[in-house]
Amino acid sequence: MAEMEEMGLFEAIYSARSLRRFKPDPVPDEVITKVLDAAIRAPSGSNQQSWEFIVIKDAAQRKKIGDVYRKGGGILMALYANRVKPAHMSEDAYRRLRASATYLVDHMADAPVLLIACLKQTAPAGAPPKLAPEVAAAMKSMARISGSSIYPAVQNIILACRGLGLGTVLTTIHAYFEDEVKAILGLPPEVQTYALMPIGYPQGKFGPIKRRPVSEVAYLDKYGNHWKS
């Protein structure tokens, strides 16, 4: 992926902003193939590589997904109505974030490519061992880690897009209506969606990405002992 190598890894990391407005220009299939090939270089639990990726280019299919996303956006906007602005964001930055999110709710189908990242649930090999009750209970609470085998691939997609001059953003609110999305895509029961990513040549600019400083969010040895950067 020559363009990304010329840019440099850290330049890509520091400038891969979430972009939600796209030009109508088509994205060549060979470019999407490079993005997907970057995705499958990510780590996955036990090297299962149980990811599945749905590339949606057909306008009618994009509209169907966009309609579902708009319904999810209604839920999101209701949540935002009572959400307190993060302390590290200015009023103007928060306003722009909400305006950008609202735009995508209404224009998801306008992106020339929609990419849906999925995981296929795999059955355990053989009969499971008998677990102590406390261990079994703990395992039931571990659903939050299920994305660990797909979100590294999603991050690779984000960086590959940046390296190839494409914009994208990680979104998940389509999952409010997971069954509808699965029906549109013909997904089998064991395949679940984890991310919906519009992809295209951006109308806006890349980076720089502003974040809270490392010294505020990282700690040495125990919580509260801030990392000195």
Q: What is the pLDDT of residues 146-188, one digit of tens each?
A: 899 999 999 999 999 999 999 999 999 999 999 999 999 999 9
Q: Is the pLDDT of residue 126 over 70?
A: no
| CA separation for the pair 109, 207 (Å, rounded) | 24
Q: Give this prediction's pTM.
A: 0.89
Retrieve residue 146's tokens.
Answer: 């299920």
Residue located via tokens 């949606």: 56
Q: Is the pLDDT of residue 61 over 80?
A: yes
Q: Is the pLDDT of residue 2 over 50?
A: no
Q: In which band, very low, low, confident or very high, does the pLDDT at 141 lie, cut at 50, 70 and 90?
A: low
* Mean pLDDT along residues 38-52: 94
Q: What is the pLDDT of residues 3-32, one digit of tens each?
A: 444 688 999 999 999 999 999 999 999 999
Q: In which band, very low, low, confident or very high, does the pLDDT at 82 lie, cut at 50, 70 and 90?
A: confident
Cis previous bond, 208, omega within 30? yes
Q: What is the DSSP string of 19-61?
A: ---B-SPPPPHHHHHHHHHHHTTS--GGG---EEEEEE--HHH
* Mean pLDDT along residues 38-62: 96
Among 11-25, 69-83, 108-122, 212-226, the minimum mean pLDDT is found in 69-83
Dihedral angle computed from the Cα positions of residues 209, 215, 218 and 221, in that order, rounded to the nearest 10 degrees? 160
pLDDT of residue 123: 62
Q: What percent of the chain has pLDDT over 70?
A: 90
Question: Per the CATH hierarchy, to which homologous superfamily does domain 2-122+146-217 belong?
Answer: NADH Oxidase (3.40.109.10)
Average pLDDT score, the chain: 90
SS3 state of residue 114: strand
| CA separation for the pair 70, 88 (Å, rounded) | 28
Domain ranges, ordered by start, for the chain: 2-122+146-217
Q: Which long-range contacts (CB under 8 A, 24 or more apart) does 8-12 make?
A: 9/159, 12/159, 12/162, 12/163
Q: Is the pLDDT of residue 205 over 50?
A: yes
pLDDT of residue 20: 96
* Mean pLDDT along residues 69-82: 88
